[in-house]
A and B are shown apart, each in its own frame.
Chain A
Amino acid sequence: EIVMTQSPATLSVSPGERATLSCRASQSVSSNLAWYQQKPGQAPRLLIYGASTRATGIPARFSGSGSGTEFTLTISSLQSEDFAVYYCQQYNNWPPWAFGGGTKVEIK
């Protein structure tokens, strides 16, 4: 069973700054990695799939990179609406489809 580990647990960033979130898989998941954004009281929203492809309607300031076991989500210039919790998820080896524990991006 693949374990997904996200770091840091909390990231404090000022609006307009860059945010870099990390996700590590316990074994290779190739490029079968997704990122989701979740705001309080809302359902998760797919941001990135295939490790680097933005989902429909996702702004270009969100970018994903990596393959194998190491992945990064970068938000180039944080907007007020970007403060949220972000989850990575592998879908290479299943079941189970495994999520990371999340990174909370908060206002510095």
Chain B
Amino acid sequence: EVQLVESGGGLVKPGGSLRLSCAASGFTFSSYSMNWVRQAPGKGLEWVSSISSSSSYIYYADSVKGRFTISRDNAKNSLYLQMNSLRAEDTAVYYCARDHQLSRGAFDIWGQGTMVTVSS
């Protein structure tokens, strides 16, 4: 079964750091670009960051640029998001999502999400 499972969320104080992980299974992880998408409570979807299959290309939303770092370990079938200098507005469910193989940029597989709460 194709699956993505996020972990690492939790409660953190403003200015703190957190590292999210996404474990992939059931497909050849190293062949796919991967993404992080977040959703603030009661709000819509916001793309956060993307990384190509070999980590050659990395992109960030302006709202997180300079504070978040995306990375991957293809040997471990894992995607990561290092989040530093966290702000209240970073509070959201964070999803990892796979790029569609035939239509790059559409996200065809999503994890269940991990909640990040930034509060003092």
Contact = CB atoms under 8 A, between A and B. Distances in A.
B45 interface: yes
B110 A55 contact: no
A49 to B, nearest CB: 4
B62 to A, nearest CB: 8
Interface stretch (A20-28, A67-75, A99-107): A99-107
B54 to A, nearest CB: 18
Contact of A53 (B37, B44, B60, B103): B103
A46 B108 contact: yes
B105 A44 contact: no
B59 A94 contact: yes
Q: Among B61, B104, B105, which residue has the most Cβ atoms of chain A within 10 A?
A: B105
Given A34-B107, A53-B103, A44 B95 contact: yes
A102 B44 contact: yes
Interface string B15-37: 00000000000000000000101
Interface string A86-102: 01010110111111111
Contacts, number: 72
Q: Among A46, A89, A99, A100, which residue has the most Cβ atoms of chain B within 10 A?
A: A46
Interface in A32-69: 32, 34, 36, 38, 42-46, 49-50, 53, 55-56
B106 A99 contact: no
Contacts of B103: 32, 34, 49-50, 53, 91
Contacts of B9: none
B47 A97 contact: yes
B100 A49 contact: yes
B7 interface: no
Interface of B: 35, 37, 44-47, 50, 59-62, 95, 100, 102-113
